[in-house]
Amino acid sequence: MNPAEHPQEAAVDLVVAGAGGGLAGALRAAEAGLDVLVVEASEAFRRGNNTSMSTAMIPGAGTRWQRAAGVEDSADTFLADVAAKTHGEADPVLAGALTSFSAELVTWLADGFDLPVELAADIAYPGHSVTRCHTVPSRTGAELLDHLVARARRHPRIDFLMPARLVGVGTHGGRVRTAVAEYPDGSTEEIPTRALLLACNGYGADSRAVQDLMPEIAGAVYHGGEHSRGDALRIGADLGAATGYLDAYQGHAALARGAGTLVGWATVMHGGVLVNAGGHRFGNETVGYSEYAAILAAQPGSTGWIVFDERVHELCLAFGDYRDTVEQGVVLSAEDLPGLARTCGLPAGPLAETLDRAARGAAGTASDEFGRLSWEAPLRAPYRAVRVEPALFHTQGGLAVDGSARVLREDGSPIAGLYASGGAAIGISGHGAGGYLAGNGLLPALGLAVLAADHCRGSSPARESS
């Protein structure tokens, strides 16, 4: 949209800052008859934000897809899993709201927008006690985002303003009245609006903030949107908003070194192991890919190798990110153990001993030295391996919000007309990286955006009697 064409005569009902998961909120609001303006900083957002970089895993508890697969689940079970993974640190109000809404969210995306949803029943994700992650056929966030963008582009009540960065908010009488957008040439525009949804992610691209708040992952590769610079935190601070869980993040221990593609943790959950430069395993890989990023970062050279076999390779081809990694030529092959050691430049003796111990653990003939219990099968020649490095995907802390995604002040009162979702808001992963469950990025990104739209629809001054 050309800024000169933007009408100033009347306020829009909702401005959404960020064209990632926030598009779900834009669509929900437009469905309810609200006029929506999406402000996006990058014209290349379809491949450059965290939603598009995800594996499109959306947890839903008690869906029809689960019932069809014979999976018994409920919001209470999901909430218990969140509490267990975070050791009780997750915000109880937000966790309760999102786990309760999760099934409705998945169903709405499928039925309302013809999103080709399927249950990811072929892999167990750490911390989920049952199969509840729903995804799209390619298992890529790019497919998910493309679907949302296409729907938003066609909707007559949704307009886009880009490239433009949301830099400020004007209030009057304690309520949001304007959103301030900044264009690449430095000029700004005040957009009259009745509400604002901050869906502009967190602060992963701000290296200084990462160093200060999560130093254990500061040296890792940042693999997220370049515009995730803490804009929501700065805007919220100007309005007296409270913050929380600023040390929380999603890490990943399976970024392909030399390719920058996501290998994916399915390689591990199907039976693969991680070894360091000495050919040794260094922990229980199945605790989770997020917390394992810092564990990998502490290894010599901050790198390691995922070792697996042809069976695992074939299973992982279901993931678009893994196929991209294969196409980059960084997944190496070897007919036997000596060949694997030579190919990877690893010491043959320690590697052979490591894989022998892992095979006995997978076969159930010996207990694993690191306590790993989840093995699908022992690895067998021929082998595959890929060198990986730790990555920071996105931050999981932000502005304090309630179960309707309303931004809260330090005293717990809401700032009227201001909402936050995804990385702009606190998440449900507790502190650090260990509480992250698969889908803890997209559930708050999509779910809070939709909950914000629902609240905005019910409280819009345009629809209240004066």
pLDDT tens readout for residues 91-101 = 999 999 999 99
Q: Taking Cα atoms as reference points, which of 147, 228, 187 lies closest to residue 396?
A: 228
To which H or E segment does residue 208 belong?
Answer: helix 207-213
- Residues 77-102 have a mean pLDDT of 98
Q: 3-204+397-463 and 250-392 share one CATH topology?
A: no
pLDDT at 336 over 60: yes
Whole-number Å distance between alpha carbons of 461 and 456:
9
- Residues 339-364 have a mean pLDDT of 97
Report the pLDDT value the prediction gives residue 223, as an integer from 0 to 100. Answer: 94
| 384, HSE (Cβ side, Cα atoms, 13 Å) | 21
Helix axes 22-31, 141-154, angle to 10 degrees: 30
To which H or E segment does residue 192 belong?
Answer: strand 188-192
To which H or E segment does residue 315 belong?
Answer: helix 310-316
Bridging pattern class, strands 36-39 and 158-161: parallel
pLDDT at 424 over 90: yes
Which are the contacts of 238, defined by CB distance < 8 A and separation ≥ 6? 168, 169
State the DSSP string of 317-355.
TTSHHHHHHHHTT-SEEESSHHHHHHHHT--HHHHHHHH
Single-letter amino acid code for the residue at 128: H
pTM: 0.92
Give the model confidence (pLDDT) of 128-184 as tens digits: 999 999 999 999 999 999 999 999 999 999 999 999 999 999 999 999 999 999 999
Copy the structure tokens of residue 324: 């991209």
Report the pLDDT value the prediction gives residue 460, as an integer from 0 to 100. Answer: 55
* Neighbour-count burial for 194-210, b at 16+ CB within 10 Å, e otherwise: bbbbbbbbbbbbbeebb
Report the pLDDT value the prediction gives residue 399, as an integer from 0 to 100. Answer: 98
Return the SS3 of 189.
strand
- Residues 421-440 have a mean pLDDT of 96
Tell me the pLDDT band of 11, cut-offs 50, 70 and 90.
confident
Report angle CA 374, 376, 381 to the nearest 5 degrees: 125
> Rounded mean pLDDT of the chain?
94
Is the CATH number of domain 3-204+397-463 3.50.50.60? yes
Q: Taking Cα atoms as reference points, which of 40, 39, 49, 423 lies closest to residue 226?
A: 49
pLDDT at 89 over 70: yes
Residue 173, burial from CB neighbour count under 10 angstroms (0-12, 13-18, 19+): exposed
Report the pLDDT value the prediction gives residue 465, as an integer from 0 to 100. Answer: 30
pLDDT at 1 over 80: no
Report the pLDDT value the prediction gives residue 3, as an integer from 0 to 100. Answer: 39
Copy the structure tokens of residue 173: 């009488």
Whole-number Å distance between alpha carbons of 77 and 66:
13
Copy the structure tokens of residue 405: 């995604």
Architecture of domain 250-392: Alpha-Beta Complex (3.90)
Whole-number Å distance between alpha carbons of 452 and 191:
19
- Domain locations along the chain: 3-204+397-463, 250-392
Tell me the pLDDT band of 46, cut-offs 50, 70 and 90.
confident
Q: What's the chain's length in residues?
A: 466
Helix, strand, coil content of the chain in percent (nearest 5):
35, 20, 40
Q: Taking Cα atoms as reference points, which of 361, 396, 354 lies closest to residue 378?
A: 361
Q: How is residue 445 annotated by DSSP?
A: I
Q: Under a CB-based contact definition with an 8 Å cutoff, are residues 208 and 400 in contact?
A: no
pLDDT at 10 over 90: no
